[in-house]
Amino acid sequence: MTVIFIKFNVVCNVSINGQHIGYVKDRSLIENEINELLALEGTNNIIFVDTVIPKYGFALVSKNQELNESEILAKISENTKLTYKYYAVTLNGEQKSIVNSLEEAENLVTEIKENYEDSVKFTIGINEIYSDNENTYETVDVKIAKQDVSEQLQEIKESSVKGVYLSQKPISGVITSRFGSRESIRSYAHTGLDIAAPYGTDIKSACDGTVSFSGYKGSYGNLVIVDCGNGVEIYYGHCSKLYVSEGDKVNAGDIIAAVGSTGNSTGNHLHFEIRVNGSQVNPQNYIYK
Ligand SMILES: [Zn+2]
């Protein structure tokens, strides 16, 4: 017996998942570390701590066997997974700002709604988002978040006809005739905006709505009319192809027709017309500004 205690030390043998990872003098050192890791749960956006539970045993090791406590601690934090949770404030489904707490997000949403709800239609919400990396998301304070959302809302407001948000340009192209212009092709002031684009170019719906007409209509040629609600209707004229039918629901960005030159038209272009309660308004007050 005496011999053993002269030549050997009694230490604690540490293993993780059945694998020996080293020796410590005192297992409480490891246990404290693990408790500290577990205590992170609920702080600094850490929603969950997934760590390892080591197994301990006694071991007799030779006196010159080195203890590797710091390596063991490193191994344990290596095998610990932290899950972070944040809150994204969304505007019309898009993430606008990421804040640290639900309370912050809720306050922001309430405040924004109070300031804007009457003037423009929008959907504001809160999304929980998770990450295993603290640096994946950059959070901002409530003041900045409010600014981000407000700026976007201002844009929405300026691009809205009677609360109907024109979030999508139907095509990109050159504007060849503006609203109200008088040209030899017709005897009255232009009722919409003409945008030239190659034959067959996809025409996207400028806003959400329901197709109220899809067919041939006199000087408009092949025409799609989308009823966007609130008395707002959008006309897409001179199309070569119509991809939607009366009664179809469309979302902003959906392809509804193709550019052509049907009806009273001298070249491939889209006639884009907005009517509010039946009267044409200048589209460039809201889109293609
Ligand atoms: Zn036109």
Residues flanking ion ligand 1, Cβ below 5 Å: 192, 194, 271
Q: CATH classification of 174-285 is 1.10.3720.10, yes or no?
A: no
| Distance between first and last Cα of the chain | 94
- Centroid of ligand 1 to alpha carbon of 225 (angstroms): 14
- 99: which residues sit within 8 A by CB, 6+ positions away? 86, 87, 89, 105, 108, 139, 140, 141, 142, 145
139 and 100 in contact (C-beta within 8 Å)? Answer: yes
- Centroid of ligand 1 to alpha carbon of 199 (angstroms): 16
Would you state the pLDDT for residue 39? 95
What residue ranges do the domains of the chain occupy? 2-79, 85-158, 174-285
- Centroid of ligand 1 to alpha carbon of 177 (angstroms): 7
* pLDDT tens over the chain, length 289 residues: 555 556 788 888 999 988 998 899 888 989 999 999 999 999 999 999 999 989 999 888 888 778 888 899 999 999 999 999 999 999 988 899 999 999 999 999 999 888 887 777 888 999 999 999 888 898 999 899 999 999 988 888 899 999 899 999 999 999 999 999 987 777 789 999 999 999 999 999 999 999 999 999 999 999 999 999 999 999 999 999 999 999 999 999 999 999 999 999 999 999 999 999 999 999 999 999 9
- Centroid of ligand 1 to alpha carbon of 220 (angstroms): 8
Tokens of 265: 């038209």
